[in-house]
């Protein structure tokens, strides 16, 4: 599992070029790196994907200078509980990989959430259930990153029945659960190790349901590329083995099947 499937470059809010990120991945001993810059919806609902073609061209040049497998993907935002995202079928086919998850722009959860936490969790089940059915998403980015929104939910607030329902939806929809190395940042009132212990109980439910996992640093500079230590501690806490994780080749085959309608 010598890969990092979630990083950002100058094409969105990262600090370094694709080439510099690749160099950092080589230094970290990685075999595969995915650049997954942000794709949001603008005020008219159109995707902010103007950078994609330029990134694809730059990637072609970079690939001629490295033996590392370089993927150009995108991180979309879940727009609402209906499971809408800015990712179109045409954009999905351009990219090598699509991540999507709750973001600051998610209506009903990050924006104007219900005050009642039970209602919020019901909305969360609906949102993740619909995301799981979206065919233009490969990986759910940082699932349950709920600690910094206007009506925050701690991991201990989550009802086990809600977690199991979402896990079943992920399994049925073939969605991959990302173990994000900076997930702890979303819970500023808890230590990283407390977040790890609380999150392990959630991750275990998904493992029991047969959901597969991926690893991503969410690095926004070259200094974080390949830093997966917290994510691996989480995996070890849950007892995940190598066969619980996807590989880049597995994701490629699943994408081909999806695009062919199989």
Q: Could you read off the pLDDT of 163-181 as tens digits, one per residue?
A: 999 999 999 999 999 999 9
Tell me how far apart the alpha carbons of residues 232 and 20 are, in angstroms, rounded to a whole number: 24
Residue 81 phi, psi dihedral angles, 5° rounding: -70, -10
DSSP state of 140: E
Taking each helix axis from N to C end, the angle separating 160-173 and 117-133, rounded to the nearest 10 degrees, works out to: 10
Spell out the domain ranges in the chain.
Answer: 3-259
Q: What is the CATH number of domain 3-259?
A: 3.20.20.140
How many residues does this entry show for the chain? Answer: 262
What b/e sequence results for 69-101 when a residue is b if at least 16 CB atoms lie within 10 Å of its CB, and e otherwise?
bbbbbbbbbbbbbebbbbbeeebbeebbbbbbb
pLDDT digits (tens, 9 = 90+) for 1-40: 799 999 999 999 999 999 999 999 999 999 999 999 999 9
pLDDT digits (tens, 9 = 90+) for 223-251: 999 999 999 999 999 999 999 999 999 99
Q: Indicate the pairing of strand 69-77 with strand 32-39.
A: parallel
What b/e sequence results for 183-220 when a residue is b if at least 16 CB atoms lie within 10 Å of its CB, and e otherwise?
bbebbeebeeeebbebbbebbbbbbebebbbbbbbbbb
pLDDT digits (tens, 9 = 90+) for 44-83: 878 899 999 999 999 999 999 999 999 999 999 999 999 9
Tell me how far apart the alpha carbons of residues 3 and 6 are, in angstroms, rounded to a whole number: 9
Residue 99 belongs to what H/E stretch? strand 97-101
DSSP state of 175: P
Q: Is the pLDDT of residue 156 over 80?
A: yes
Q: What is the pTM of this model?
A: 0.96
């Amino acid at each position: 599992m010598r890969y990092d499937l979630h990083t950002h470059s100058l094409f969105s809010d990262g600090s370094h070029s694709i080439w510099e990120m690749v160099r950092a991945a080589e230094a970290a001993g990685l075999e595969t790196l995915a650049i997954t810059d942000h794709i949001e919806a603008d005020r008219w609902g159109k995707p902010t994907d103007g950078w994609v073609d330029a990134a694809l061209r730059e990637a072609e040049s970079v690939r001629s200078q490295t033996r590392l497998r370089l993927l150009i993907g995108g991180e979309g935002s879940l727009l609402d509980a209906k499971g809408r995202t800015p990712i179109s079928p045409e954009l999905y086919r351009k990219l090598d990989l699509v991540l999507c998850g709750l973001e600051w722009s998610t209506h009903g959860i990050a924006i104007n959430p219900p005050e009642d936490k039970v209602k919020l969790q019901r909305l969360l089940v609906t949102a993740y259930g619909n995301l799981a059915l979206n065919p233009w998403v490969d990986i759910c980015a940082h699932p349950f990153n709920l600690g910094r929104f206007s009506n925050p939910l701690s991991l201990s607030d989550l009802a086990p029945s809600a977690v199991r329902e979402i896990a079943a939806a992920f399994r049925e929809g073939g969605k991959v659960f990302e173990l994000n190395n900076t997930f702890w940042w979303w819970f500023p009132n808890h230590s990283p190790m407390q977040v790890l212990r609380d999150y392990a109980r959630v991750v275990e439910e998904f493992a029991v349901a047969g959901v597969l996992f991926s690893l991503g640093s969410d690095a926004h500079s070259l200094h974080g590329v390949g830093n997966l230590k917290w994510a691996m501690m989480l995996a070890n806490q849950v007892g995940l083995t190598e066969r619980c994780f996807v590989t880049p080749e597995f994701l490629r085959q699943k994408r081909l099947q999806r695009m062919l309608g199989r």
